[in-house]
Structure 1
């Protein structure tokens, strides 16, 4: 993976998602993805962010979290950083087409509880590109620091992030299967047997629309069967981050936690899924228990015996 220390580019407000999604769609046919392509080096920084409590409550209700507590769910900072990530990934300098880009995994570290009434500084950058057996994968890092007082320049080194994540996004394209890159990551092995089934959820057809309204992510594959069919899906598809949030709402997380989740197969809406968990792991399978949609693990931070590691091992 190519890495860099990007310079900070301060923002004064959260970017609007709709124009970014439209720009990304228009530019997608012009992109020629490859793992050695250049990518945007900017680190977008948004200081002084306050949480919209009404929007937070809508998110909590949609994902199954309890409402009313002065604490952000572990997955909510991803929603806060998503517009900044879209600003980077929808631009001309980002080499992967936004249309068809697949969210393949997310790793999250939360070092302390995050009050919903707090003030935060967001920072997002593209960490690099990696060859994948099915194309090219981009890693996008989101960091959240508590406060943004006069003692710290926005985007400066300052205090360590209270929350950080690394998301991987895959652009599928033809690769040289006869000569695979030695850097190409190995596929995370699937669990050999299903985890104990603890709940069965019947998902309504409007889950994607409700999550889109709460999160701002209104990708057409999630909204309606007609728009999903334009991208090759028979029905609307649940957001990957909704599936992880719903699992973590059921599982629970420590105040200081390390989480990793892999998105393995889309969840079609409406549909029935089975939630399973055990020994710090969780998963979401099809109603018959055979098809694995999401697998993940939850642990305390710092992880016992591993020291302070900012991301779980892939």
Structure 2
């Protein structure tokens, strides 16, 4: 896999301004580009970090929340999807989940390199999935690996399409609830820079096949992690999204601690359908 040094990380607004051109992509035999984009010398924007912490009630503990790092670095991964050799349309892709591994959280003043690539293009019951992988490197050591899985609906790959699994969901005992108004997506876009139209208004979301404006998956994960993410040591977390949170919404939650971490579930209390499941495990 080749490597390309880049001189800046673009803004998400700049990425989405160009993303409309990818809507015409209709790949027959898609192949992901074998390239890693590298940006050297990144660091936190202290004002944006403060806005992130305020938006999700994250503690000011001198460490960078893993999803703040994600919001800083992910536009570089999205820019990979704008390349002419990336086969899938960027707009309308659905965020299915994240897997994050942290060997030691970054200090909020640390300088780091960002490396991104795309991999794991596989069939899905509704289309095709791929992973965008962000690695955060300090002095040659990978400190964070952030993997995001996306679905391109309607794209077909060769081979067998996996069957869609249906497991019954029984809501657990509620321990918290979030009330999210219709402006939640726009406010988070201002914090994280993610101006994907599916999050901004019912009109723009419906134009891309959504039932209405939906909450950012990263916002839901960041808010769930705010009170439970460790400030030191080795840990991992993953989140799987099941059904979108259509705004405005009430989300019921269950935070279940264990000897090694937490399990967090979020669901629609009116329909009884799961929105997400997050699992955090720390080294003990």
Relative to the length of structure 2, the TM-score reads 0.90
Q: Does the 8 Å contact 1:251/1:277 carry over to 2?
A: no
CA apart distance, 1:26: 1.6
Find the counterpart in structure 2 of residue 57 from structure 1: 50
Q: Which runs of 4+ in 1 moved over 4 A?
A: 184-192
Indicate how the Cα distance of structure 1 residues 254 and 192 shifts in structure 2: closer, same or farther if over 3 A, else same: farther
Q: CA RMSD of the aligned region, Å?
A: 2.2
Find the counterpart in structure 2 of residue 239 from structure 1: 216
The answer to whether residue 153 in structure 2 is matched with residue 172 in structure 1 is yes
* Structure 1: gaps of 5 or more residues: 1-5, 148-157, 305-314
Residue of 135, 143, 156 corresponding to 1:162? 143
Find the counterpart in structure 2 of residue 43 from structure 1: 36
* Structure 2: gaps of 5 or more residues: none
The answer to whether residue 276 in structure 2 is matched with residue 276 in structure 1 is no
CA apart distance, 1:134: 1.4
- Give the Cα–Cα distance (whole angstroms) in 1 for the partners of residues 162 and 101 of structure 2: 22
CA deviation map 1:189-225 (0-9, x unaligned): 7575333311011112211111101111011121122
CA deviation map 1:148-201 (0-9, x unaligned): xxxxxxxxxx32x1000211111111659xxx835x567677575333311011
CA deviation map 1:275-305 (0-9, x unaligned): 112243111111337110111211014xx7x
Indicate how the Cα distance of structure 1 residues 235 and 136 shifts in structure 2: closer, same or farther if over 3 A, else same: closer
Residue of 106, 127, 136 corresponding to 1:114? 106
CA apart distance, 1:229: 2.6
- Give the Cα–Cα distance (whole angstroms) in 1 for the partners of residues 132 and 268 of structure 2: 29
CA apart distance, 1:254: 6.2
| Number of residue pairs aligned between Structure 1 and Structure 2 | 279
Relative to the length of structure 1, the TM-score reads 0.82
- Give the Cα–Cα distance (whole angstroms) in 1 for the partners of residues 244 and 3 of structure 2: 35
| Aligned positions of 1:160-239 closer than 5 A | 161-173=142-154, 175=156, 181-182=159-160, 190=167, 192-239=169-216
CA apart distance, 1:241: 0.7
